[in-house]
Amino acid sequence: MPNGLLYCGIDMGWYVYMLRCRDGSLYTGCTNDLARRTAAHNAGTGAKYTRARRPVVLVYAHPCETHSEALKLETAIKKRSKKQKEALCAFLLEGEIP
């Protein structure tokens, strides 16, 4: 996995991401290095939530211009229902915004 996604050809720096855990649950977070953070979750040094639910797979990432923007989006996603979060993940596969 590359060290960060490109958005319109520009490395945005911050990302909100969702991981699918072994038990099927979704974990939402933000980072400035997707590859490092995903590896940390899989090594058991990421969030406490994911430690017992490894391995995890990156299923969604959205670039943000600032850390503040990423934190606000992370909070908004965490407030969504699981069905709505699944729709966001499906967006990557289907190319449609839910």
Q: Could you tell me the residue ranges of all domains in the chain?
A: 6-94
Residue 45 to residue 11: CA distance in whole angstroms:
25
Q: Whole-model pTM?
A: 0.82
Higher pLDDT, 2 or 82: 82
Q: What are the pLDDT digits (tens) for 23-62?
A: 999 999 999 999 999 999 999 999 999 999 999 999 999 9
Residue 64 to residue 7: CA distance in whole angstroms:
9
Q: Is the pLDDT of residue 93 over 70?
A: no
CA-angle at 7, arms to 1 and 57, nearest 5° = 35
Q: What is the CATH number of domain 6-94?
A: 3.40.1440.10
Omega before 98 within 30 of 0, i.e. cis: no
Q: Is the pLDDT of residue 1 over 80?
A: no
> Residue 32 in contact with residue 22, Cβ under 8 Å?
no
Q: Is the pLDDT of residue 17 over 70?
A: yes
Give pLDDT, residue 89.
87
